[in-house]
Amino acid sequence: MGYYIKKEDVEDLVVGAAILGTGGGGDPYVGKLMVLQSLERGEKIELLDIESIEDNSFVVPVAAMGTPVVLIEKVPSGKEALYSLNLIEEFYKKKVDYISPIEAGGINSTIPLVVGAKRKIPVIDADGMGRAFPELQMVTFHIHGVSATPMAISDERGNASILSTIDNYWAEKIARAITVKFGGSAWIAIYATYGSLYKKACVKGSISLAIEIGKTIRTARQSGKNIIDALLDVTKGYYLFSGKIVDVSRFNIGGFARGEAKIEGLDDYKGSTLIIRFQNENLVAIRDNEVIATVPDLITIFDKETVKPITTERLRYGLRVIVIGIPCNEKWRNEKGLEVVGPKYFGYNVEYIPLEKRIRNFN
């Protein structure tokens, strides 16, 4: 017997997911409304620890794919991902035992909960990133040898297809092209595997961590405590910068929202400038021409007044912000992981140095 998600958990989850999403993963507010609708209809969402799943169980992650800003204009109803899940079951001629998130950030932390509620399938408290990343092969399942395909991809109209590719990089390329043709967003069921391999490959406890982060912020706000201090304690994170956004460049290329934000320092950071470059998610933070944080570590931007995380599509001139860094899951801090999600993969000629070491060296 697992834990059943409550309305309060959903409120906390979306806050924590937006922080772990590092600016990407889609607006979690849309996902929150979908989950709350499910609970209001009396549907139950069971969350399971990975130790509860059987080795021979059939596990399938589900997610939204595409440019995050599109979901603001094409608000989903909650049924879209079911097209892909149903197609996967038809292909394998097997019922799915457990749903999983593919990433811990943004809307993709909530989509599996909606699907689980509608299909009465338990959701596993784990994912494949421990944060959000922009490409399909950027998951711990990939570095543990799980194939992305056969995968199902669908749109909100019910158009759907099964992809079979020679490797996970080709799955990303082809699915991305389809997503663009679908209008910038798609719904996928991917990295289908068995419980034994899933348990080895996943990042454990990601949903409960997001809920804990959100709860920590909520209780700090209610008790009048310093919210950022409480957040840094629960995430083992670091305060990187405080300032005002003075420029944002943003453009869509190849199904991604790419760009950068320029932040002029305020208070203790007056006279300094921070540049944050993103591809759906925040990738690199550069202070006064010196790199202070890179993927796979997490870089999250907060509105200074509300202390709420800001997704990349909502960055705008004039916002006063706080930037924090959070160490990534250890599964990314090895040669295989960095080959897939390190700064060099994204085109930055920078060696990965763990956040805690960079901060120590910078200070």
* Euclidean distance between CA atoms 233 and 86, whole angstroms: 41
Start-end ranges of CATH 3.40.1610.10 in the chain? Answer: 3-206
**Average pLDDT, rounded, for the chain:** 92
Q: Is the peptide bond before 150 cis (omega within 30 degrees of 0)?
A: yes
Which of these ranges, 93-97, 253-257, 314-318, has the smallest mean pLDDT? 253-257
Environment class of residue 262 by beta-carbon count within 10 Å: exposed (0-12), middle (13-18) or buried (19+)? middle
Confidence of residue 256 (pLDDT cuts 50, 70, 90): low
pLDDT score, position 254:
61
CATH of 235-362, one of 3.65.10.10, 3.40.1280.10, 2.40.390.10, 2.60.40.10: 2.40.390.10
* Confidence at 100, pLDDT banded by 50, 70, 90: very high
Burial of 11 (0-12, 13-18, 19+ CB in 10 A): middle
What are the residue ranges of CATH 2.40.390.10 in the chain? Answer: 235-362
pLDDT at residue 240, rounded to an integer: 97
Give the whole-angstrom CA distance, residue 18 versus residue 39: 21
State residue 322 phi and psi, 5-degree precision. -120, 140
The predicted structure's pLDDT at residue 30: 80
Q: CB burial class (10 A; 0-12, 13-18, 19+) of residue 311? A: buried
Q: Assess whether pLDDT exceeds 60 at residue 33.
A: yes
Q: How many angstroms separate the CA atoms of 281 and 223, rounded?
A: 31
291 in Cβ contact with 285 (< 8 Å): yes
Determine how many CB atoms are found less than 10 A away from the CB of residue 344: 15
Decide if 201 contacts 144 (C-beta within 8 A). yes
Task: Specify the pLDDT at position 255.
Answer: 57
**CA–CA separation, 160 vs 32, rounded Å?**
25
User: Residues 271-303: pLDDT tens digits?
Assistant: 999 999 998 889 999 999 999 999 999 999 999
pLDDT tens across 101-153, in order? 999 988 899 999 999 999 999 999 999 999 999 899 999 999 999 999 999 99
196, 56 in Cβ contact below 8 A? yes
According to DSSP, the β-strands at 160-163 and 151-154 are: antiparallel
Q: Are strands 203-204 and 3-4 parallel, antiparallel or unpaired?
A: unpaired
* pLDDT band of 163, cuts 50, 70, 90: very high
Angle between helices 7-20 and 206-223 (to 10 degrees): 100
Provide the β-strand partners of residue 309: 302
The pLDDT tens digits for 35-84 are 999 999 999 999 999 999 999 999 999 999 986 566 656 667 668 899 99
Q: What percent of the chain has pLDDT over 90?
A: 81
One-character DSSP codes across 312-355: GGG--TT-EEEEEEEPPPGGGSSHHHHHHHSTTTTT-------H
261: which 2 tokens?
């934000």
Give 10-13 contacts, CB < 8 A, sequence gap 24+. Answer: 10/35, 10/36, 10/39, 10/110, 10/113, 11/214, 11/218, 12/210, 12/211, 12/212, 12/213, 12/214, 12/215, 12/218, 13/109, 13/110, 13/207, 13/210, 13/211, 13/214
**CATH architecture label of 3-206:** 3-Layer(aba) Sandwich (3.40)
d(CA 91, CA 71): 28
